[in-house]
Amino acid sequence: MLQATEFNCSKAIKLLIGVLVFTLSGCGQNPKVISDSSSLVLNEPQITPSNRPAAQWRAINRLNYGPTTASLAAVQAAPSPVQWALAQLDAARVASQSAPKVPADMASINSSLPALFEGAQKERQSRAAVAAGTPINDAQPFNERFNFNVEPDPLYFNRTQVNKAVAWRLASCSNDEIEQPLLARMTEFWFNHFNIYQQKGTVRPFAGHYAIHVARAHALGKFEDLLMASAKHPAMLYYLDQWLSVSPQTNRTGQVVRGLNENYARELMELHTLGVQGGYSQNDVKELAKILTGWTISAKSDDGFQFVPRLHESGQKTLLGQAIPSSPRFIGEGEGVQALQLLARHPATAKRISQRLAEYFVADMPPPELVQHLTKVFINTEGDIYQVMSALIRSEAFWNSEQRLYRTPYDFVCGSLRLMQAGNDRAKWLQGVGYTFAAGQTIQNWQTPDGYSFDAATWMSPEALTRRIDFAFGIARNSREPLEVYPFLSESSLKAVYKQTPAQRMGFVLGSPEFIYK
Amino acid sequence: MQQQRRLTLKAAMSWGAFACSVPFLGAQTLSKTEPQSSGRLVLVFLRGAYDGLSMLVPHGDPHYALIRPNISIPKPDGTSQTALKLDDLFGLHPACASLLPLWQQGVLAAIPCAGSPDSSRSHFDAQYHWETGKPGSSSPSAGWMNVLSAMLDTAGAAGVSNANNVVSAIGVGESSPKILSGPHKIQLVGNGNSAMRAGSLAESKTRDAVLQLYASDTHLASAMLDGSSSRMKTAEMLKPQAATGMLAEQQAANNGAGAPQGLALDAKNLGTLMRQNRNLRLGFLSAGGWDTHINQGNVNGQLANNLQNLSRTLLQLREAFNEPHDVVVVASEFGRTSAENGTRGTDHGHGNVMWLMGNGVNGGKWHGRWDGLAKAQLNEGRDLPVHHDFRAVFSQALVNALGVTQLQTENLFQGARWDSGLNSLFKA
């Protein structure tokens, strides 16, 4: 045993000390990237025998939430970490195009939208029917949150939908039989980019459907399709109040009773597309709000959306200097489609999305050349997210060990569940939920449309680090010993791990610098 | 070398444990000889832009009810269904009834048209400007409370030790808010009851083991030690049985009201911690849920509920921060439209009402410029204008409450000018 330890230690030192070396190889070796021009190709990663394990560890922690025994073996068996990474991307795209494997007891989050509207309506009706003075038990015991074996009482339909949505996120980020692991990462990214708050009353029944049919379904497709799906989904229409924003309506006495609401129009430009420095004005916000009047929810249609011409503000609008509608055939719903296309194809949008992807997968402050490169790919491929991700994976920066990331609390929970192979152990999921709550990153629960931050400045504080260690020790109590990970730990980490009893070692691996950072 | 660093870290850790066992020593040595400048500043930041015109109700303005047909608060008639009269122009939202005595005692004041000189109506941009103290700039920058905490530290303005490691700022919530982040050490405590748990690292054996785990990463090692020491102290100080005379008094003053929850509980914990550790001079609390685009309500409704919670929070803070130079500030990143929008709510605006509470505050009145709600007086014809830069308001508070010099405030808030229009804010 001791012998083996020493062997592992020396291997680990090499691994840690050996900074990845990259050659300044040119662009010739890269036939798969489409629309190449020499200016588009950054230096390619060169994986050598000495840096290969570090590259494997890096890839599996960044493109997945971390290793499982099987996935670690797979990346080690792959011809190269880069090829493994690109294969992950292909697999994630294929998975995104097929239905998710939602566990049976959570499957109702993926019901049709009319069925979800109906469930919410039944909850309203059954609550209205409760006799006055009879209390409704809205305080659910924490431990029962993920117990879906009882037929949901119509009184608690919305709450159950939220709990199922959160359960599915935990199942899909931690279990490869349920979700392709890179697709789970992409789903988190896009949900957060187009954030909704699942506790807003009307949003509750739709949060899981939104994660599946907006964030997941378009995760590696065209950005424009993703934007459109988000714009028309009831969760977003409710969350940013678009469903209520209408051309000013007056009552019989001439008083305005309903009118414009700028909320969605503003966040659509500020957060979803152009970015706050993207060159729009308050007048553009107002014009976009007018363009989108009439976009609202439908409880009966398959996509939950309808355009209501009578609520639409007629007349010519100007958005970012462009006339909308550009021709009479776009009058009405087509105006919103034109506006979304204009925003999706805008260079400021390409830059913003590229920046955020690079922050999520590479570093809190990614190299500007990488962002420029991704921006060009985004523009040249008309916002093909798969191609942008492919360029990111092929970039030198992605593999450069100087670019560090600190796991967010959610990422840490998913990574821990994976390494422990927690499977369907819902007591452990609940521990994860408790930790994300204390840490301030409750799943799908950020109230404002900017979504959670991903940077170390937000999540790495002394008190938060100790809370993370508490969680690691607590959840890992009596779990298996993760021997397969030892070759990837530093000498000092391994030494500290071996000082523990085997039953305590998992907690120390989770708390190690190699797992806290990635 | 390695060995030596380990020892230093260990020494730091045992110091933390020692400090934890004698939590009240600092407070006692200070109490009698406080210099005039020994006040503390607590900022309650309402994220999402609260509707100031619903809290400080301009019932005497002829335009107010007209531009808010569904969401205005009726003129004072002496009942709890109307605004509570402060003067002929302004009233208080009835959900804030518990704050009326503070106004009448002259310890609560309002500035109706304050805010950021930058015109952004983006929550996130505007919050960044408020928290860095640099309106209009999105460049990376430390939070101004972090920078200020370093000034207090080295200036020793409170007469406390000015050793470099003194932590003088504390925030509630463990994800770092921008305003507190930067090079200087600050303290964070968990929300609500989580603050009372010291955690697994309270065991010295566990700390030693984790210290070994972080032997190759000094940053993680020192963060772990700082964090565990901070949480042990916090848990110790918040223990119910740690009740001093003051705490018992506070409990009596609670008058049988239910235990505070949410923001009010955070406020209570903040008060307890800042009373027991007198090095802490800056406190930060924040709460969301103020972005009322639809159905914000009027006398009742979602905004009224929020205002009631805010009032409870302020009462908690009043109990803890009632020394001569303590000051509590309430603010949001910007205001909301003066008129209601098409969905019985309000959209993003510009200027907003800021509140100051404290014994040194020239309370029972509002301060600064107010030109009314006529369209021509509004920013872009729709929002309250910003007549007073938020940085000028804080500068007044820093000079009057914390003993910071005017020159220091100019260094802290570069580009902001001293606003003599606010010289009446504090009692002479």
Cβ within 8 Å, pair B288-A276: no
Residue B22: count of CB within 10 angstroms of its CB: 8
Is A138 exposed, middle or buried (CB count within 10 Å of its CB: 0-12, 13-18, 19+)?
A: exposed
From the list B300, B289, B288, the residue with the least C-alpha distance to B71 is B300
Domain-located, residue B339: yes
Query: Mind listing the pLDDT tens digit for each residue in A389-440?
Result: 999 999 999 999 999 999 999 999 999 999 999 999 999 999 999 999 989 8
Question: Is the residue at A90 inside a domain?
Answer: no
Total residue count of chain B as it appears in this document: 428
User: A287 and A222, same structural domain?
Assistant: no
Q: Tell me: do A252 and A216 sit in the same domain.
A: no
Residues A129-146, mean pLDDT to the nearest whole number = 84
Structure-block tokens of residue B250: 């506070």
Pairwise CA distance, residues A25 & A396, whole Å: 10
> Which 8-state DSSP code applies to residue A145?
T
Residue of B nearest to A467 (CA): B199
Contact A276 B120 (CB under 8 A): yes
Q: Is residue A309 part of a domain?
A: yes
In this complex, do A463 and B188 lie within 8 Å of one another by their Cβ atoms?
yes
Interface of A with B in 224-263 (CB under 8 A): 241, 244-246, 248-249, 255-256, 258-263
Are the CB atoms for B307 and B259 separated by under 8 Å?
no
Q: Record the tokens describing residue B23, joined without a space.
A: 């939590």
- Whether A22 shows a pLDDT value over 60: the answer reads no
CB-CB neighbours of B2 under 10 Å: 8
Together in a domain, A425 and A391 = no
Q: Which B residues 59-78 touch A at CB under 8 Å? A: 69
Which positions ≥6 away from A259 have C-beta within 8 Å?
A245, A246, A247, A248, A249, B341, B342, B343
Any idea which of A319-323, A380-384, B159-163, B236-240 has the lowest mean pLDDT?
Answer: B159-163
CA atoms of A513 and A373, how far apart (whole Å):
31
Q: Given the structure tokens 């229009």, which residue do they identify?
A: B421
Is residue A353 a contact partner of residue A186, using CB atoms and an 8 Å limit?
Answer: no
Residue B77: what pLDDT?
96
**In B, which residues are within 8 Å of A461 by CB distance?**
174-176, 188, 223, 227
Q: How far is A97 from chain B (nearest CA, A)?
A: 34
| Long-range Cβ contacts of B179-182 (<8 Å, 24+ apart) | B179/B43, B179/B45, B179/B130, B179/B131, B179/B132, B179/B143, B179/B144, B179/B145, B179/B146, B179/B284, B180/B143, B180/B145, B180/B146, B180/B149, B180/B284, B181/A457, B181/B142, B181/B143, B181/B146, B182/B142, B182/B143, B182/B146, B182/B147
Instruction: Give me the total of CB pairs closer than 8 Å, taking one residue from chain A and one from chain B.
Output: 166
Beta-carbon separation of A448 and B347 below 8 A: no
A17 → chain B, closest CA residue: B216
Q: For A129-148, what is the mean pLDDT?
A: 85
Q: Name the residue in chain B with its Cα closest to that of A197.
A: B289
Tell me what the mean pLDDT of segment B17-25 comes to: 35
Tens of pLDDT, residues A246-303:
998 877 777 777 889 999 999 999 999 999 999 999 999 999 999 999 999 999 999 9
User: What is the C-alpha radius of gyration for chain B, rounded to an integer number of angstroms?
Assistant: 22
Task: Give the separation between CA B365 and CA B106, rounded to whole angstroms.
Answer: 8
A110-136 tens-digit pLDDT: 999 999 999 999 999 998 888 877 777
**pLDDT for A4 beyond 90:** no
Average pLDDT (B340-359) is 95
* Residue B71 confidence class, pLDDT cut points 50, 70, 90: very high
Q: What is the pLDDT of residue B38?
A: 77
C-alpha distance from B107 to closest chain A C-alpha (Å)? 33
- Cβ partners under 8 Å of residue A485, min gap 6: A67, A72, A419, A509
Amino acid identity of B189? Answer: V
What's the pLDDT tens digit per position in A295-339? 999 999 999 999 999 999 999 999 999 999 999 999 999 999 999
| H helices, E strands: number in chain B | 14, 11
* CB B63, CB B315: distance < 8 Å: no
| Neighboring chain B residues of A485 at a CB cutoff of 8 Å | none
Six token digits for residue B66:
């007209």
Confidence band of A43 (pLDDT split at 50, 70, 90): low
Name the amino acid, one letter, at A105. D
The answer to whether residue B311 neighbours chain A at the CB level (below 8 Å) is no
The answer to whether the CB of A88 falls within 8 A of the CB of A64 is yes
Task: Tell me the torsion sign for CA atoms A200, A201, A203, A208.
Answer: positive
* Segments forming the whole domain that contains residue A174: 104-129+147-239
At residue B12, the 3 state secondary structure works out as helix
Q: Which residue has the tokens 């304050």?
A: B114
User: In this structure, are A440 and A499 located in the same domain?
Assistant: yes
State residue A170's pLDDT score: 98
- Please provide the average confidence, as pLDDT, over all residues in chain B: 85
Amino acid at A343: L
B345 chain-A contacts, CB cut-off 8 A: 241, 261
Instruction: Give the residue carrying structure tokens 């291997």.
Output: A11
Helix (H, G, I), strand (E, B) or coil at A370: helix
Is residue B14, in this structure, part of any structural domain at all? Answer: no
Q: Total structural domains in chain A?
A: 4
Residue B221 lies in a domain: no
Residue A18 pLDDT: 39
Q: Hey, is the C-beta of B217 within 8 angstroms of any chain A C-beta?
A: yes
A8 pLDDT higher than 90: no
Work out the average pLDDT over B391-417.
94
Residue A49: the pLDDT is 79
Instruction: Give the span between the Cα atoms of A518 and A361, in whole angstroms.
Output: 10
* Domain at B128, CATH number: 3.40.720
Restricting to B residues 20-59, those with a Cβ less than 8 Å away from any Cβ of A are: 47-48
CA angle A406, A409, A413 (to 5 degrees): 110
- The arithmetic mean of pLDDT across residues A55-70, rounded, is 97
Given a contact cutoff of 8 angstroms between Cβ atoms, the answer to whether B53 and B296 are in contact is no
On whether any CB of chain A is under 8 Å from the CB of B182, the answer is no
B336 forms bridges with which residues in the sheet? B348
Polymer length in residues for chain A:
518
Q: Give a yes or no: residue B291 inside a domain.
A: yes
Residues A157 and A203 in one domain: yes
Distance of CA B409 to the CA centre of its chain: 18
Burial B65-96 (b: 16+ CB within 10 A, else e): eebbeebbbbebeeeeebbbbbeebbbbbbbb
A188 shares its domain with A206: yes
User: Residue B153: what pLDDT?
Assistant: 57
Q: Closest to A245 (Cβ–Cβ): which among B188, B230, B342?
A: B342
Across residues A52-57, what is the average pLDDT? 95
Question: Does B210 touch chain A if contact means CB atoms closer than 8 Å?
Answer: yes
> Does a structural domain hold residue A329?
yes
Q: Cβ separation of B69 and A255 shorter than 8 Å?
A: yes
Distances B174 to A5, A118, A464, B192, B320 between C-alpha atoms, Å:
37, 39, 6, 11, 22
For B131-140, what is the mean pLDDT?
88
- Mean pLDDT is lowest, of A195-209, B165-179, B351-365, for B165-179
The distance of B11 to chain A (nearest Cα, Å) reads 17
What is the Cβ-side half-sphere exposure of residue B176, based on CA atoms within 13 angstroms? 28
Query: Residues near B376 by Cβ (< 8 Å), separated by ≥ 6?
Result: none
Note whether A497 contacts B213, CB cutoff 8 Å: yes
Q: B338 in a domain, yes or no? A: yes
B371: three-class secondary structure by DSSP: coil
Instruction: Tell me: pLDDT of A64 over 70.
Output: yes
The type of residue at B273 is L
Tens of pLDDT, residues B376-397: 999 999 999 999 999 999 999 9
Q: What percent of chain B has pLDDT over 90?
A: 70
Between A72-81, B118-127, B247-256, the lowest mean confidence (pLDDT) is in B247-256
- Strand B84-85 relative to strand A249-250: parallel, antiparallel, unpaired? unpaired
Q: Tell the burial category of B234 from Cβ atoms under 10 Å away from its Cβ (0-12, 13-18, 19+).
A: buried
* Position with higher pLDDT, A257 vs A4: A257
- CA A261, CA A288: separation in Å to the nearest integer? 11
Q: Which range (A461-475, B83-97, B242-256) has the least confidence?
A: B242-256
Q: Is residue B348 part of a domain?
A: yes
Residue B253: inside a domain: no
Q: Which residue did the predictor score with more confidence, A476 or A151? A: A476
Model confidence over A173-193: pLDDT tens digits? 999 999 999 999 999 999 999
A250 φ, ψ (degrees, to nearest 5): -110, 155
Domain of residue B43 covers: 38-199+279-422
CA gap A386, A220 in Å, rounded: 5
- Which carries the bigger pLDDT value, residue B20 or residue B154? B154
Rounded to two decimals, what is the model's pTM?
0.81
Residue B126 has which token pair?
């505007």
Average pLDDT over residues B88-92: 98
Helix, strand, coil distribution of chain B in percent, nearest 5: 45, 15, 45
Distance, CA of B318 to CA of B361 (rounded, Å): 13
Those residues whose C-beta lies under 8 Å from the C-beta of residue A104, and which sit 6 or more positions away, are none
Q: Which of A198, A194, A197, A200 is nearest to A214 (CA)?
A: A194
Rounded to a whole number, what is the largest CA-CA distance in chain A? 90
Flag whether A56 is in a domain. Answer: yes
Which CA distances in Å does A438 have to A278, A432, B127, B192? 35, 10, 23, 10
Tokens of A289: 């709000």
Nearest CB among B122, B216, B288 relative to A492 is that of B216
Is the pLDDT score of B11 beyond 50?
Answer: no
Residue A25: which of A319, A396, A301, A305 has the closest Cα? Answer: A396
Residue for token pair 């629960």? A445
- Answer whether B125 touches A (CB < 8 Å): yes
Please give the DSSP secondary-structure letter assigned to residue A110.
Answer: G
Query: Cβ(B59)–Cβ(B75) under 8 Å?
Result: yes
Q: Same domain, yes or no, for A378 and A309?
A: no
Residue A282 and residue B215: Cβ atoms within 8 Å?
no
Tell me if B200 and A270 make a contact (CB, 8 A cut-off): no
- Candidates A465, A497, A515: best to mutate against B (most CBs of B within 10 A) is A465
Check if the beta carbon of residue A503 is closer than 8 Å to that of residue A478.
Answer: yes
Specify the pLDDT at position A327: 96
Taking an 8 Å cut-off on Cβ atoms, the answer to whether B213 and A513 are in contact is yes
Closest CA to A101 of A166, A171, A156, A33: A171
Helix (H) or strand (E) holding B57: strand B56-57
Burial label, B139 (beta-carbon count in 10 A; 0-12, 13-18, 19+): exposed
Peptide bond connecting A325 to the previous residue in cis, omega within 30 degrees of 0 = yes
Q: Kindly determine whether residue A438 and residue B173, on different chains, have CB atoms separated by under 8 Å.
A: no
End-to-end CA, chain B: 56
* Whether A337 and A364 share a structural domain: no
pLDDT at A133: 75
Q: Is A389 in a helix, a strand, or coil?
A: helix
Residues of chain B with Cβ-Cβ distance to A263 below 8 Å are: 291, 293, 347
Same domain, A315 and A217: no
pLDDT of residue B194: 85
Examine the domain organization and report whether A379 and A457 are in the same domain.
no
Closest residue in A to B177 (Cα–Cα): A458
